[in-house]
Structure 1
Amino acid sequence: MNTTISSYIILLGLVCMCRMEEHVVRSKRAWIIDSFSIVEEHPGPFPYALGHINIERKYRVGFDLYGHGVDEDPKGILSIDKDTGVLTVHGKINYEEYTSLMLTFEVRNKSNLALDTKLGVNIEILDINDNPPLFQRNIYESTVSEQAMQGSFTLTVFAIDGDRPGTPNSTFDYRIISVTPNTPSAEWFIRDTGAILFKGCLDYEAAERYTIVVEAKDHGEGVQLSSSTTVLINVLDGNNHLPVITGHTGSGRVKERETGVSPLRIHVSDRDSYQTGAWRAKYTILGDVGQHFSIDTDPETNDGILTVIKPLDFEEGAERKVSVSVENVEPHFSCEVKEKTASEMWRVVTTGDEQKNSNEMDLSTVEFSIIVEDINDPPVFTVPVKEVLVKENVEIGFYVETVTAADQDLGFANEFVYAIGHDPGDWVRVDAKTGQIFTTCVLDRESIHVVNDTYTVILHATDKGDPPMTGTGTLLIRLHDQNDNVPQLVTNSVYICMMDEASVTEVAASDLDGFPYSDPFNFEILGDVEGKWRFEPNYGTTVHLVKENVVHSGLYTLLVKVSDRQGQFALQNLSVTVCDCSATPNCLFRKTTGGMGAAAIVTVLLAMLLFLGCLLLSLTASCRPEKVSIDTDCTSGDTLLKSNTETPGNDCSRIHTIEAPGMEVFDYDPHPYAFEGDFEGDSNPDLDSISIPDDDFSYDQLLDLGPRFNQLGVICKA
C-alpha cells in the first residue's frame, strides 16, 4: 500500500510540473519525494528526521508544509526545513486517533517567490499492538436454575480491541482461565461468541455460586495483549432432594363426633433451600374412606397438620388407618453424570429418562393409626322426618302418630324422654315414654301456622347418658281440608251510578277453604228485588250486580246469599249507594248543586262519626265477657263532652254500664233531630241535596277539624 501511494504522489507531481512548464519556461525540471510513514507511539528521541524532499532546479527554491500535524491537529508533530526540504518528526502520534496525516507541500522560487510546485502529501501512521481487548464490564452476573439442562445458555461476555481492524493486533480469542469452585459434576466453557455454557449437572449443594475468570487475548505481532473479566453464576436451588418423613407428634386420638381437632403433626426433613418451592412440603392423605381428614402444611416448620373435618363414629370402628404421602410443591428432578466425553456435552441421566422415574419420583409414605374414643351419642329418630295425614277439625285428644328413636350406645338403648321441641300453635302433646302424639286443640287448615296445608312439629328425644344427649325429629301433619268456612263478600259496600238504562258494578267473594269446597260461588239476592236488582251472571268468584233504571239514587241494603260448590252459604248485607256520576265517577265523593256551606257539611260529618263511634263502642262492649265502665267528666258548655244525649252535661254524673251478651243493657231511645230549614221539591231529601261549593270548601279541611273532633275520635276508639 505504501508503494502505491508513493507512486501516485510521484505521478501527480510530474503531471503538475509538466503543466507549469508549459505556462512558464519550458525547461527540464526533476524532483523526487520519497514515501513516508510514521510508526505510532514511536519512542523517540525527538526530533528525528523522517525524510528529505529533493527538487532539482537551476534556481534556488524554498519549501513549505501545511495541514495535519503542522498547523492543524495534531499540531507540532511535523516540520520541514525551508532550505533543504528535510521533514522532521517532533512527537508521538496515536493510530487510534489518526490513521494518516493529510498535508499540502509547496515549492517557491526564492528570487521572486513564485509558486513552482504545489501538491498533496499523505503520511501513513503505522499501527502497533498497543491496545488490549477490553471487556464491556468488569463483572458479569447471571442466575441459572439447578435443574437446567447441560448446554443451557447462561450469559455472553463481549470485548473490543481498539487496534486497526482486520489485523492480528485487533483479532482476539476468549478463554476461561479459572472456575471457583471446581465441581466434578459440572464444567464451564465459552464459545467464540463469548457465550458461556456448562456441561454435566449443576448441584446447588456443591456450589451455590461459580466465579469464572474469562480472558480475551489478541494475536499481536511480536507482543500479544490481553485483559480479563469476572463472571458470577448464581445457582438457583431446584428440587433434587425428596422430603422424608422423620416422625410425628400428637395424641393420635379423637373423640367421636368431634371436628376441628388435630390429633397428629407430621415432621419431614428436606435438604433443599428453606422456604423455596423445592423445600415446601405438600401432603396427600391416602385410604381416608368417608373423607374425615384434611392435612395442611405449616408454612414455618413444613410440618403436616392432620385435622378432623368430618365426625368419626366409634360404632363404625375404634381405630382408623390413614396413610400420608409427601412431596414438594416444585416438581422433583435429578441429574447424574454417567460419562465425561471429549465432545462438547457429557453423557448424563436426568429424571426425564424413563429408567429413573420409578426410583427418583417415589414419594415418602407412612401409615398412621387414629384412635376413636367413644362418647354418648344422641338418640336418632328412626324416621327423621315423618309425615301423617289428618283431617282438620278432629276432636281434641285425637291420636295423630307415634314417633320412635334409637340409640347406638350400649346401656342406654330405648331409654328416652320424648318432648315437644317446637309447636307453633300448641296443637299437640307427646307421651314422654311412648312417643304417642295427640291433639290438644282443633286443627285448623286455614290457620296462620299452616303452610301449604302442612303443620310442622319439632320433637326431641333425650337419653339418660352422662351427659344426656338429645336427638331431633320432625313431624309433618298434612291437614285434609273440610268445608268449614262459608263464602264471604270481599267488600260489603259498593256504589253504582244512575243511568237511563240498567247499570252494573262488580261484587266478589272468597272462601278460606280449598278445592272442592270453595269457588266458583253462586250469588243470589233475597227479598222483593224482582225488576230492581239481579246478578248477571250469578256464578263465579266475581259477578255483576245489575241495577234497573227504576231504582233511584239513595242508600240500599241488599240481603245476599253466597253459596260454595257444596251448597254451604252465608247471608250477608250488601250496602249499595246509588248516585249521579255525572259530576264525579265516585259516589263516595260526589258534588251536586245546593245551598249548604262548608260548616254544614262538617256538622253532618261530625254527627255521622259520633253515631258510628257509639255504635262501634256498643258492639265492642257486647262481645266482652266482663263489664266495661265509661266514666264521663263534667265540663263547661263550650267543650265537646263524652255524652249520649242532646243536651251536654246533664248526665255527667252517671256511669253507663254495658253488659255482655244476654245481660241487661241500658240504652237511650233514638232522638229525632229537626232540619234547620225547609227543603223545596222532594219531601224526602237525602244526601244528594248537600252542596259543597268549590270556592267555599276544600277536602283538605277534613284533615284538621280541631280539638273537639280529636276528642270525639278518642271517644269513638274507646
Structure 2
Amino acid sequence: MANKVILTLCVVLTSLLCPAAGGWTYSASDQSYIGPPNGLRRGGGGHGIIRGQRPIGPGFLKRSKRRWSPPPFNILENYSGSLPKGIERIVSDTQQNYSVYYTISGPGVDQHPIGLFSLNSKTGLLTVHKAIDREEFPSFKLKVSVFEEFTNRETDDPVIITIDIDDQNDNAPTFKDPLMFTVPERSAIGEVVGLVNATDRDLAGSLHTKIHFSLLSGQDLFGIHPETGVITTKTNTLDRETKDTHVVTVQIKDMAGADSGLSSQGQATIRLSDINDNPPTFNKTSYDASIQENDKDKLILRIPVKDKDLINTPNWVSKFVISKGNENGNFKIETDPKTNDGLLYVTKPLDYEKNKNVNLEIRAENQAKLSGTTAQWMSVPINVAVTDVDEGPEFTAPTVRYTVKENIANGTLIGTYSAVDPETKSSDGILYYKDSDPAGWINMDRTSGALRVANTIDRESHFVKNGMYNMTVKAVDSSSKTGSGTVIIVVEDMNDNMPTFPPGELILCEKEGEMGSVLLVAEDKDLSPYSAPFTFSIPSDSDGKWTVTRFNDTAATLQHVKELPTGMHEVPVLVKDLQGHGEVQTAMVRICECRGGVCLDKNRSAMFGGMGVLAMLLPLLLLLLLGVLLALFCATKREKIQLDDAADSGGILLKSNTEAPGDEVDSSLINVPMIGTETVKGGVKSALPNMGWMGDKSASTIGGQSVHENGFYKTGYSTTNMQEFHSSQYDGQQFGAQTLGTGMNFDYRNMAQDSAFMHTWRTNGLYLRQKLGYLGTEQDGRFAEDYSKAYGFEGVGSTAGSVGCCSDFGGDDNLEFLNALGPKFNTLADVCRKS
C-alpha cells in the first residue's frame, strides 16, 4: 500500500513538473493512469495502463473512463515462416481490478475461414495459425470481449479488432477478353486493330498491378501500345486473298514490365475482312456464239468469270453490261445467281440478210465499287454469228400509207404493195391476198399487189377512225411461207354533207305581251372548210310569220313576228355551210303554255292501231261483264223457304239430307209427326208450350226440361236407365192423354180427327224402344254412337240462342240480334240474311 502511494505521488509530480517528457495522464473517471504511447507495453504493444485506487482527500482530479481500442494489425500474406505465430497481446485495463478472461469471434475464428486465428483467454495473446491469401481474404474484423472470471460478467465493452493482410506480388496478370480482332485488308498504317484487356488480382493501384503490354511475334505487321494495350497495323500491304488470318503472341507483365514482375502470354488472332480490291476476270480473251435468224428469247452463251474476293458478297457477285454492239436492243445479259456466270440472251429476232455477224463487248463488274486497288473493270469481245433460215416473203415496208379522197370512183388505183423473197430479193411467184378489209372498199391484185377502189369510200363511215382506214394483207411464196403487211388509207374529206337540224321538236313557250323565240342548232358531218360557220335565212316565199338571226357559227335564233296559235308549226329555214352548200330544212316548233320549260297541254292528235282500240274497249267489256254477273246473282238469290208440315211428319223428327239410308232404319219410320204443329214462314212452330219429361231418376241429360220462347226445349233430362226411360215414355198405354202428365195439355179434338197421327206416333215409339235398348252396351259398336247427345250450354241470356242446324225452327224471322254479335260474326250474319 505504501508503494502504491509513493508511485502515485511520483507520477503526479512528474506530470506536473515535466508534462512533455512524462506523458502520463490521470483519468478521474476510472481512477487510472495512462502512460505515453511508447511507455510500458503489455504483450509488446498498446498503451501502458496503470490502474489504482482513488486517493482520498481534496485536490485530486476525477478520471474519465477510457475504452480499450488497439490499432489495426497487419499480417503479410502467404507468410512462409514457422506457424502458429503470435501477433499481438490484447489486454483490457479492467484486469487490474478483476480476474478476467477474454473471448474472440468473427471470420477466421468461428466463421469461415475457421481456424486462422485464436486468442489466449488468460493472456489475451492473438495468434495466427495458417498462411493467408490476401486476394481471398484482404482483411478480418474480429470481436474481442472481456469477462470477470467468477461471475462471467463483462467488465468492459467489446472491442472490434481489424487485421489487414498486406499484399505480395503473387498473381500474374491475366487477359479479360478473347484475343479475337478484325481489320479490313489494305488498311493504312496505324489502323486500330483492337484493344487487349488485362487484369491483376493483386492490390489495385500498386506496382503489383501496373501492367506492361508487348508483342513477342508479328512485330513486322502489327504493334501494341505498352501501357494501353491497343494493337495497330504497321503496314498497308495486308491482303486477305493472300492470307486472311494472322496470329501474334501478346505478353502482359506486372511491376511495369520490370524483370521481377510476373507475366502471361496469349495468342491474338487477327482476321482480315474483305474489300472489293479484285475485279472479276474472264476465263478467255474472247467468246464466239451463233444464233438462227428470227430466233428470240433464247440463251446463246454462258460467260464464266473468277473473282478472288469473298464469295457471295457484293464484292464477289458479278454484274454484266453490254458496252458495245447492242444498239438495236437485240440482246440482254443476266447473272446466274448460283454460278456467278454471265447469261447472254437474244431478245429480238436477227435478220441474216441484213447482218450476218454481230460483234458485242461485255464488261464484268461487281455490285460493290472497287477500293484499295488501281485495277479497272475488265471487258471481253463476243462474236455472234447469225445463220440463215428460209423465210417467207417480206413486204417492202411493214406498214404503207396512202391518201385517198372519199367518194372516189370505183376502180381507181390507190397504189401497189408488193413483197420480195429475202433470200433471192425477187417477187417472182409471190401471190397477194387481203387478210382483213372491214368495209370491203379495196381490191388487191393477186399477182402484182395493186390496190384499187372496190366500193365508195365514205369518211363519215364508222369504219374510219380519226380519218384513217386500216386493212391487212399477206404475201405467199411458192413454198407456202407467208408474210404480212398493213395498209393505212388516209381518207380526205369532201363536201358531201349539208347542214341539217337534229330530229325532234322545239318548244316555244308563250309569253304575255311578247313574241317568243327558240334556238336552232345545225349539224354537218363534214370537216372544215366544208362545214361551219353556217348561214341561216328564211326563204323568200315564206308567210312572213318568222324571222331568223345568227347566234353563233352553228346556231341561230328563230322568232315569230306575228301572233300565232298554240300547237305545232313547221317553219322552213335555209341553212348553208361555208361553201354555200345547203338547202331548206324544216324546223318543228311547238307553241304552248309552259311550266319549267315543259308544255302543260300539247294538244296532240293521237292515232290508235288495233291494239289501241282493244285497250280502249277492254274496260267497257269488263264493266259489261260485271253488270251481267250482278244481274245473274240478284236473279238467283234464294228466298226464305217455307216449310210445310206434312200430315205424316209426326211433328218431332225432321227430314235431313243424308248420303245414304241407314242399314237398320226403315225409311218409312223416320217421318215422325209433330203434335199440334202449325206451319209458319221460315220454320215450324210447336203447339206444345211445355213438353218437359217427368221422372225421379236422373243421372245423364237426354231430353229437355226448360222450354225456349219458340217452343223447343234446350236443357236435358237426366236418368240412370236409358232403356227404362224410353220404354216408359213411348209405351202405348202411357202415352195417352191420361198418362202424359199435367204439363202436356193436348188438344183431343185434333187427335180424334187424325187417327193416323197416333198410329204413326206409336209406331215410332215402338221402333225407338227396340233400338235404344242397345244404347250403352258393347253388343253392337255400330249403335254405340247412334244416339242424341247433349251439347254444352254456352250461357244464359244470349240473344242468338243456339247456332245448331235446327235453331231456326220454332222461332220468328227477327234476325236483328245478329247486328250485336261483333265483327267476328258479321260474315255469318250476312250468310243468314241472304239465305
- Structure 2 partner of 1:319: 357
Per-residue deviation, 1:38 = 0.9
1:249-275 deviations in whole A, cap 9, x for unaligned?
Answer: 998221223332333223344555543
The 3 A distance-change label for structure 1 pair 89 and 538 is: closer
Gaps of at least 5 residues in structure 2 are 1-19, 47-70, 622-835
1:194-593 equivalent positions in 2, closer than 5 A: 194-200=229-235, 201-204=237-240, 207-210=243-246, 214-219=250-255, 225-227=262-264, 231-237=268-274, 243-246=280-283, 252-270=289-307, 272-285=309-322, 287-288=324-325, 290-291=327-328, 292-326=330-364, 328-330=366-368, 351=373, 357=374, 361=375, 365-376=379-390, 381-382=395-396, 386-405=400-419, 408-410=422-424, 412-413=426-427, 416-452=430-466, 454-460=467-473, 462=475, 464=477, 466=479, 468-482=481-495, 484-500=496-512, 501-519=514-532, 520-524=534-538, 529-530=543-544, 532-537=545-550, 540-548=553-561, 550-581=563-594, 585-587=597-599, 589-590=600-601
Which secondary structure state, in structure 1, belongs to the residue aligned with residue 40 of structure 2?
A: strand
* C-alpha distance in 2 between matches for 1:126 and 1:251: 86
The 3 A distance-change label for structure 1 pair 450 and 407 is: same
Could you tell me whether the CA contact under 8 Å between 1:31 and 1:55 is conserved in 2?
Answer: no
Could you tell me whether the CA contact under 8 Å between 1:267 and 1:302 is conserved in 2?
Answer: yes
2:27 to 20, 30, 45: 20
* C-alpha distance in 2 between matches for 1:17 and 1:120: 25
Per-residue deviation, 1:151 = 4.1
Count of aligned pairs between the two proteins:
563
Could you tell me whether the CA contact under 8 Å between 1:584 and 1:591 is conserved in 2?
Answer: no
Amino acid at match of 2:406: E
- Structure 2 partner of 1:134: 174
Give the structure-1-normalised TM-score. 0.64
Gaps of at least 5 residues in structure 1 are 1-12, 334-349, 352-356, 593-603, 615-633, 642-718
Per-residue deviation, 1:49 = 0.8
- Structure 2 partner of 1:31: 40
1:161 to 191, 195, 200: 200
Per-residue deviation, 1:373 = 1.3
Which secondary structure state, in structure 1, belongs to the residue aligned with residue 426 of structure 2?
A: coil
- Structure 2 partner of 1:125: 165
Per-residue deviation, 1:245 = 3.2
Amino acid at match of 2:609: L
Per-residue deviation, 1:569 = 3.2
Per-residue deviation, 1:127 = 1.1
Per-residue deviation, 1:163 = 1.3
Amino acid at match of 2:526: D
The 3 A distance-change label for structure 1 pair 280 and 640 is: farther
1:35-54 equivalent positions in 2, closer than 5 A: 36-42=73-79, 47-52=84-89
* C-alpha distance in 2 between matches for 1:525 and 1:16: 157
* C-alpha distance in 2 between matches for 1:18 and 1:225: 52
* C-alpha distance in 2 between matches for 1:612 and 1:539: 46
Could you tell me whether the CA contact under 8 Å between 1:16 and 1:117 is conserved in 2?
Answer: no
Could you tell me whether the CA contact under 8 Å between 1:176 and 1:190 is conserved in 2?
Answer: no
Could you tell me whether the CA contact under 8 Å between 2:432 and 2:476 is conserved in 1?
Answer: no
Which secondary structure state, in structure 1, belongs to the residue aligned with residue 299 of structure 2?
A: coil
Could you tell me whether the CA contact under 8 Å between 1:524 and 1:538 is conserved in 2?
Answer: no
* C-alpha distance in 1 between matches for 2:26 and 2:461: 138
Which secondary structure state, in structure 2, belongs to the residue aligned with residue 169 of structure 1?
A: helix
Amino acid at match of 1:18: T
* C-alpha distance in 2 between matches for 1:64 and 1:436: 140
The 3 A distance-change label for structure 1 pair 585 and 72 is: farther
The 3 A distance-change label for structure 1 pair 83 and 193 is: same
The 3 A distance-change label for structure 1 pair 248 and 118 is: closer
1:633-667 deviations in whole A, cap 9, x for unaligned?
Answer: x99x96999xxxxxxxxxxxxxxxxxxxxxxxxxx
Per-residue deviation, 1:68 = 7.0
The 3 A distance-change label for structure 1 pair 46 and 206 is: same
1:417-439 deviations in whole A, cap 9, x for unaligned?
Answer: 34434333211212233333221
Which secondary structure state, in structure 1, belongs to the residue aligned with residue 27 of structure 2?
A: helix
1:389-411 deviations in whole A, cap 9, x for unaligned?
Answer: 43322222223233455555325
Could you tell me whether the CA contact under 8 Å between 1:293 and 1:310 is conserved in 2?
Answer: yes
The 3 A distance-change label for structure 1 pair 493 and 145 is: same
* C-alpha distance in 2 between matches for 1:148 and 1:269: 24
Give the structure-2-normalised TM-score. 0.56
Could you tell me whether the CA contact under 8 Å between 1:50 and 1:89 is conserved in 2?
Answer: yes
Per-residue deviation, 1:586 = 0.7
Which secondary structure state, in structure 1, belongs to the residue aligned with residue 25 of structure 2?
A: helix
Amino acid at match of 2:497: N
* C-alpha distance in 1 between matches for 2:336 and 2:102: 92
Which secondary structure state, in structure 2, belongs to the residue aligned with residue 544 of structure 1?
A: strand
Aligned-pair Cα RMSD in Å: 5.0
Could you tell me whether the CA contact under 8 Å between 2:468 and 2:491 is conserved in 1?
Answer: yes
Could you tell me whether the CA contact under 8 Å between 1:499 and 1:549 is conserved in 2?
Answer: no
The 3 A distance-change label for structure 1 pair 90 and 493 is: same
Say which is worse superposed, 369-378 or 53-62, in terms of deviation: 53-62
1:292-348 deviations in whole A, cap 9, x for unaligned?
Answer: 433333222333222223443333443334344545555567xxxxxxxxxxxxxxx
Could you tell me whether the CA contact under 8 Å between 1:145 and 1:237 is conserved in 2?
Answer: yes
Which secondary structure state, in structure 1, belongs to the residue aligned with residue 353 of structure 2?
A: helix
Amino acid at match of 2:452: F
Which secondary structure state, in structure 2, belongs to the residue aligned with residue 474 of structure 1?
A: strand
Q: Which has the higher contact order (CA 8 A, sep 6+)?
A: 1
1:185-217 deviations in whole A, cap 9, x for unaligned?
Answer: 956757542333444544545655455564433
- Structure 1 partner of 2:212: 173
* C-alpha distance in 1 between matches for 2:323 and 2:510: 89
Q: Which has the higher Rg, Structure 1 or Structure 2?
A: 2
Among all aligned residue pairs of Structure 1 and Structure 2, give the percentage whose two residues are the same amino acid: 26
